[in-house]
């Protein structure tokens, strides 16, 4: 017995698709006077046709059931945004190399040119003269100083 309505519906759909497949196979064999034994080169086996049809229907039913359960599992997954997630939370009291790298969007041990390029890019977007925040600008400058080892992460002026 099924545990919930979803499993019951899946079983009904698998059973229904099995009947449809069986009727299609029987119609195909009758309409074209086709013997599946000749396709398999097994020779004349009068009872092989129902066995092959039964095996094909059973395989199709199990395959359909597997695909439906896999599809339901995919649909049940929580949707995760594909975009990069932002750093959760605020700033730390004393800026670390990790936090500085996250602010500038570089690796902790990036080369000097990459750090300067990232600092310029982030500073252009957040400069106080262009409507940005003084606090963010000071944090961006502090991040550059920490990564370039100019200061010992003494904290910002704010």
Query: Does pLDDT of 2 surpass 50?
Result: no
Q: What's the rounded mean pLDDT across residues 150-156?
A: 55
Task: Convert the pLDDT of each residue in 25-54 to its tens digit.
Answer: 777 666 666 665 565 555 555 556 677 777
Q: What angle do CA 57, 62, 67 make, to 5 degrees?
A: 125
Query: What domains can be seen in the chain, in order of their start residue?
Result: 5-76 (no CATH), 86-158 (1.10.287.110)
Q: What's the rounded mean pLDDT across residues 100-108?
A: 91
Task: Convert the pLDDT of each residue in 112-132 to its tens digit.
Answer: 999 999 999 999 998 889 888
* Three state DSSP letters for 17-73: HHHHHHHHHHHHHHHCCCCHHHHCCCCCCCCHHHHHHHHHHHHHHHHHHHHHHHHHH
- The pLDDT score that the predictor gives to residue 114 is 93
- The pLDDT score that the predictor gives to residue 92 is 80
Lowest mean pLDDT among 20-24, 44-48, 72-76, 89-93: 44-48
Instruction: Report the share of the chain in percent with pLDDT over 90.
Output: 21
Mean pLDDT of the chain: 77
> In which band, very low, low, confident or very high, does the pLDDT at 1 lie, cut at 50, 70 and 90?
very low
- The pLDDT score that the predictor gives to residue 112 is 92
Give the global pTM: 0.44
Q: How far apart (Å, rounded) are the C-alpha atoms in residues 148 and 122?
A: 16
């Amino acid at each position: 017995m099924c545990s919930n309505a979803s499993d019951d519906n899946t079983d009904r759909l698998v059973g229904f698709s099995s009947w449809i497949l069986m009727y299609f196979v029987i119609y195909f064999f009758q309409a074209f006077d086709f013997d599946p034994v000749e396709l398999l080169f097994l020779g004349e086996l009068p009872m092989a046709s129902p066995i092959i049809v039964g095996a094909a229907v059973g395989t199709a039913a199990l395959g359909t059931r597997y695909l439906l359960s896999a599809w339901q599992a995919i649909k049940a997954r929580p949707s995760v945004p594909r975009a990069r997630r932002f750093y959760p939370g605020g700033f730390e009291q004393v800026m670390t190399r990790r936090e500085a790298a996250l602010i500038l969007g570089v690796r902790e041990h990036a080369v000097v040119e990459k750090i300067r390029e990232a600092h310029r890019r982030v500073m252009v977007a957040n400069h106080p003269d262009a409507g940005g925040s003084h606090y963010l600008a000071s944090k961006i400058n502090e991040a550059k100083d920490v990564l370039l080892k100019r200061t010992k992460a003494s904290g910002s002026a704010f």
